[in-house]
Amino acid sequence: MNNQLFNNIKEKVEISEQDFQDFMLLTKTVTVKKNDFFIDEGDIAKYIAFMNSGVLYSYTIDDKGDKHVVQIALENHWISDLFSFLSEEPSNFNVQAIDTSEITLLSRENFERACNSIPAFERFFRILIQNAYVNSQRRVSRIYGNSAEERYLKLIKSNPKIIQTVPQHYIASYLGIKPQSLSRIRKNLYL
């Protein structure tokens, strides 16, 4: 049994061990090597992934070739391009491994099967998707409403492990600032 995933689900909904075992039959666990892609921009996101270990991040590249990080998924997080996964339309994002990562995958077909046959999972995924939407809105609000230092402090408060596992230039992009600005912020905070 994947205790980490079981606990992740139990944080949001009540689920029996048998229902969880039935769910696990619908998944597969794979390794994504460092720098390999989980989703390529333009492809349809066929899976939603639970992070057992490692780090994946999603990003888009603008016309100038600049990378804009949208999501960073550490251990015990979920990641995909939800729009592409749910609509079955091409992804606007790349999802790539920062470190070699072990992920548990759920296909679109098995997502539907889990929601239809295991009532707890319909509730779980509704909560998961609601939280993803709320976090996305909160992130946009912070970018426009908070200083770069405030955004950085909120990020490390909510997820202190991110500093040790994610390169600074990805964190800067996620915060909507240049790496030099993040270096200045960190220097000022730790003087």
Residues 74 and 92: their CA atoms lie apart, in Å, by: 21
pLDDT score, position 77: 95
Q: Is 48 within 8 Å of 28 (Cβ atoms)?
A: no
Residue 53 and residue 141 share a domain: yes
pLDDT score, position 191: 57
Give the mean model confidence (pLDDT) for residues 32-46.
Answer: 97
Q: Which residues of 9-48 are buried (b: 16+ CB within 10 A; e: fewer)?
A: beeebebeeebbebbbebbeeeebeeeeebbebeeebbbb
Residue 181 and residue 107 share a domain: no
Residue 190 and residue 140 share a domain: no
Contacts of 158 (CB under 8 A, 6+ apart): none
Cβ count within 10 A of residue 66: 10
Query: Sign of the C-alpha dihedral, residues 125, 53, 133, 88?
Result: negative
pLDDT score, position 152: 92
Residue 171 and residue 104 share a domain: no
Give the mean model confidence (pLDDT) for residues 11-26.
Answer: 95
Residue 152 and residue 121 share a domain: no
Give the mean model confidence (pLDDT) for residues 104-112.
Answer: 97
**Alpha helix (H) ranges present in 16-159?**
17-24, 82-87, 108-117, 119-145, 148-158
Higher pLDDT, 97 or 137: 97
pLDDT, tens only, 53-80:
999 999 999 999 999 999 999 999 999 9
Domain boundary among 111, 127, 145: 145
Total count of domains within the chain = 2
Residue 152 and residue 86 share a domain: no
Q: Is 159 within 8 Å of 74 (Cβ atoms)?
A: yes
Residue 64 and residue 126 share a domain: yes
Residue 133 and residue 40 share a domain: yes
Give the mean model confidence (pLDDT) for residues 113-129.
Answer: 94
Residue 153 and residue 140 share a domain: no
Residue 181 and residue 95 share a domain: no
Structural domain of residue 163, as residue ranges? 146-191
Residue 92 and residue 20 share a domain: yes
